[in-house]
Amino acid sequence: MEFLDNLVLPQSAEHISLLHYMTMLILFLFLPFISMVLGGATLSIFYKIKGLKENNSTYKQFSKDLIEITTINKSSGVILGMVPILALVLIFSQLLHTANSPSIWYLSVSFISITVGLIYIYVYRYSLSFKDIFDSVGSAQKDVNHELKEQFSSYSERAKIVNNKSGVWGLIFLYLATYFYVAGITAAFSTETWGVKSSILNLVSSWEIFFRWIHFVIGSFILTGTVVLFNFFYWEGGRKNLTQEYSNFVRDRITSHTLINGAFLPIAILLSVFALPSSALSVNFFGLVLIGLVLLFIAFHMLYDMLKNQHTKHSGSAFLLVLFSLIFIVISDQTAINNSTKKHSVVLAAQFEESLVQLKAASGGVGAISGLEIYNTKCAACHQFDRKLVGPPHKEVLVKYEGDIDKLVAFINNPTKVDPAYPPMPAQGLKPNEAKAVAKYILEEVRKY
Ligand code: HEC
């Protein structure tokens, strides 16, 4: 993204470390939300299809509950889904300024497909309710005329088509978006990808990105599972209007889904950690990953207990443990980015110092332009370079100041009587840096004569 690179100025060391903290904060908002939507939408669509095939109303209800819990509401899609990833694009274009990392490209693609994906998913969510409304109205009105009934069934049919399509497209875009998101973060770690022309080929052929993405997807399902349990059985004391049968169904389904995913997680984490470049690794990094894993392990233990002993007591704590483990994973990711961009940050900070010096020089006023300006307004009325005016021609009198600009500055600030053939020169009331600028200008200019 060259145009972003051109917009960005080099940053100071303090600013860079601030950017790292901001990235972490943004990920705390973004990751839980997008994981939840990904997991929730996948499970919802899975159970919807299953419900239609087997004509099972429990599955259909479950599908609706899943998508309602995990997408929260429309504005959260914007605040927790779209805004954070856009902010990431801007932050990374500062952190990786002039590094030519493909990271910013990937994150921008991710932003676009997240936007499209979320729109589809929210259409899916709301059309699911519409379809139900049309269905129930259509079937409840037994004695209304035939025409009206027809109309309702055609609305319901259309809502169904919208619903099916938007769900599937939403999933496609969300999976694509998360792949690009993971690729963007991974490219920030992998200094060897910087400056290399990236193509779709090295995007899909990178094991590093692939393993990390699998890790992400599995993590999403685990988080989604505990969020659903939390919502059903813990939040505000748990849902009151559940039938025992449905409540058991939700508990058993969700705990077993989550545990199956959990079984794959350690392998996914190991593979994704070992696929990382050594520049990204550090003792801190391993420590953080380890803490994250231990928390997950305790959470799985609780879920297993709930499944085996048929209760929902741990719904709250399992969710919190998974959330904390996610936080540790985010911090470990951030540590890895920090480790691998360390060198680059030093380069950026040095560039910043340099541009600061240049900026000061430009505004400090020893440039030729301001010297010329001052000369034209303050001196040219009495002086020319090669001709006598009120004062002597510069080419005659400046010889003695050659190589001694300070002496000339002193004269301009405070003219003393020199040549009896001329009247004394009045002081021009210049500021010290103005006097210096004009002295520099006339000394350079006089060489042309
Ligand atoms: C009102 C007319 C006037 C203005 C305006 C004026 N000068 Fe002069 N300048 C003179 C005169 C008259 C002399 C000769 C003074 C002398 O020999 O004692 C002179 C002498 C000089 C000399 C020669 C000094 C020497 O050691 O022989 C320099 C250099 C000079 N001026 C630079 C400037 C610069 C730079 C400015 C503008 C910031 C400026 N002058 C503005 C009238 C002026």
CATH code where residue 389 lies:
1.10.760.10
- Please give the distance, rounded to the nearest whole angstrom, from the Cα atom of residue 372 to the centre of ligand 1: 16
Mean pLDDT of the chain: 85
Residue-level pLDDT at 138: 63
Residue 235 pLDDT exceeds 90: no
- Pocket lining: 425 vs ligand 1, CB cutoff 6 Å: yes
Residues 65 and 136 in one domain: yes
Residue-level pLDDT at 246: 92
Confidence of residue 150 (pLDDT cuts 50, 70, 90): confident
- Alpha helices of 377-431 — where are they, by DSSP H? 394-397, 405-413
Residues 158 and 58 in one domain: yes
Residues 295 and 412 in one domain: no
More confident call, 311 vs 139: 311
More confident call, 174 vs 78: 174
Contact (Cβ atoms closer than 8 angstroms) between residue 301 and residue 259: no
- Pocket lining: 428 vs ligand 1, CB cutoff 6 Å: yes
**In this predicted structure, which of 20-24, 96-100, 165-169, 224-228 has the lowest mean pLDDT?**
96-100
Contact (Cβ atoms closer than 8 angstroms) between residue 122 and residue 71: yes
Cβ neighbours for 60, distance < 8 A, ≥ 6 positions apart: 47, 48, 51, 52
Nearest-CA residue for ligand 1 atom 24 is: 397
At 178, which helix (H) or strand (E)? helix 146-189
Q: Kindly give the number of the ligand 1 atom that is closest to the alpha carbon of 438.
A: 35
User: What CA–CA distance (Å, rounded) separates 30 from 26?
Assistant: 6
Nearest-CA residue for ligand 1 atom 41 is: 379
Residues 243 and 376 in one domain: no
Residue 430: half-sphere exposure toward Cβ, Cα within 13 Å = 27
Q: Kindly give the number of the ligand 1 atom that is closest to the alpha carbon of 439.
A: 35
Residue ending a domain, among 352, 380, 401, is 352
Q: How many domains in the chain?
A: 2
User: What CA–CA distance (Å, rounded) separates 342 from 249?
Assistant: 50
- Please give the distance, rounded to the nearest whole angstrom, from the Cα atom of residue 360 to the centre of ligand 1: 30
Q: In the chain, pLDDT over 70 holds for what percent of residues?
A: 89
Cα separations (Å) of 10 from 99, 102, 289, 341, 349?
11, 19, 32, 14, 7
Residues 162 and 278 in one domain: yes
Confidence of residue 432 (pLDDT cuts 50, 70, 90): confident
Confidence of residue 161 (pLDDT cuts 50, 70, 90): confident
Residue-level pLDDT at 175: 96
User: What CA–CA distance (Å, rounded) separates 255 from 259?
Assistant: 6
Residue 367 pLDDT exceeds 50: no
- Pocket lining: 409 vs ligand 1, CB cutoff 6 Å: no
Q: Kindly give the number of the ligand 1 atom that is closest to the alpha carbon of 374.
A: 38
Nearest-CA residue for ligand 1 atom 36 is: 379
- Residue 362 inside a domain? The answer is no
Best residue among 425, 441, 444 to mutate for probing ligand 1's pocket (most ligand atoms within 8 Å of CB) is 425
Nearest-CA residue for ligand 1 atom 37 is: 379
Cα separations (Å) of 23 from 16, 95, 256, 318, 446?
11, 10, 34, 26, 56
Residues 44 and 134 in one domain: yes
Q: What is the DSSP string of 109-160?
A: HHHHHHHHHHHHHHHHHHHHHHHHHHHHHHHH-SSS-HHHHHHHHHHHHHHH
Residue ending a domain, among 352, 385, 407, is 352
- Residue 361 inside a domain? The answer is no
Q: For residue range 64-114, what is the model confidence (pLDDT) as tens digits? A: 999 999 998 888 888 899 999 999 998 888 888 776 778 888 999 999 999
- Residue 363 inside a domain? The answer is no
Q: For residue range 389-416, what is the model confidence (pLDDT) as tens digits? A: 899 999 999 988 988 889 999 999 899 9
Residue-level pLDDT at 266: 81
Q: Which residue type, as a one-letter code, is found at position 164?
A: N
- Please give the distance, rounded to the nearest whole angstrom, from the Cα atom of residue 384 to the centre of ligand 1: 10
Residue-level pLDDT at 368: 46
Q: Kindly give the number of the ligand 1 atom that is closest to the alpha carbon of 426.
A: 1
- Residue 387 inside a domain? The answer is yes
Q: Which residue, 66, 117, 68, 92, is CA-closest to 1?
A: 92
Q: For residue range 374-386, what is the model confidence (pLDDT) as tens digits? A: 898 889 999 999 9
Residue-level pLDDT at 223: 93
CA-based Rg of the chain, rounded to a whole angstrom? Answer: 35
Question: In which domain, by residue range, is 133 found?
Answer: 2-352
Q: Which residue, 174, 181, 182, 215, is CA-closest to 325?
A: 215
- Residue 359 inside a domain? The answer is no
- Residue 232 inside a domain? The answer is yes
Residue-level pLDDT at 158: 80
Residue-level pLDDT at 299: 92
Residues 215 and 134 in one domain: yes
Confidence of residue 197 (pLDDT cuts 50, 70, 90): low
Residues 379 and 410 in one domain: yes
- Please give the distance, rounded to the nearest whole angstrom, from the Cα atom of residue 425 to the centre of ligand 1: 5
**In this predicted structure, which of 197-206, 259-268, 417-426 has the lowest mean pLDDT?**
197-206
- Pocket lining: 378 vs ligand 1, CB cutoff 6 Å: yes
- Residue 80 inside a domain? The answer is yes
Residue-level pLDDT at 430: 85
Residue ending a domain, among 352, 383, 403, is 352
The predicted model scores a pTM of 0.70
More confident call, 362 vs 282: 282
Q: For residue range 2-26, what is the model confidence (pLDDT) as tens digits? A: 555 555 666 677 788 888 888 888 9
- Residue 132 inside a domain? The answer is yes
Residues 298 and 385 in one domain: no
Placement of tokens 């899975």 in the chain: 46
- Pocket lining: 383 vs ligand 1, CB cutoff 6 Å: yes
Q: What value does the mean pLDDT take over residues 34-51?
A: 94
Residues 297 and 430 in one domain: no
- Pocket lining: 426 vs ligand 1, CB cutoff 6 Å: yes
CA angle (268, 269, 275) in 5-degree steps? 90
- Please give the distance, rounded to the nearest whole angstrom, from the Cα atom of residue 391 to the centre of ligand 1: 5
Q: What value does the mean pLDDT take over residues 271-275?
A: 80
Residues 247 and 378 in one domain: no
Cβ neighbours for 145, distance < 8 A, ≥ 6 positions apart: none
**In this predicted structure, which of 109-123, 214-228, 423-437 has the lowest mean pLDDT?**
423-437
- Pocket lining: 371 vs ligand 1, CB cutoff 6 Å: no
Residue-level pLDDT at 365: 46
Q: What value does the mean pLDDT take over residues 249-272?
A: 89
- Pocket lining: 138 vs ligand 1, CB cutoff 6 Å: no
User: What CA–CA distance (Å, rounded) separates 378 from 357?
Assistant: 29
Q: What number of other Cβ atoms are within 10 A of residue 444's Cβ?
A: 12
Residue 36 pLDDT exceeds 80: yes
Q: In the chain, what is the straight-line distance between the N-terminal and C-terminal CA atoms, in Å?
A: 50
Residues 331 and 408 in one domain: no
- Pocket lining: 1 vs ligand 1, CB cutoff 6 Å: no
- Please give the distance, rounded to the nearest whole angstrom, from the Cα atom of residue 212 to the centre of ligand 1: 75
Residue 220 pLDDT exceeds 70: yes
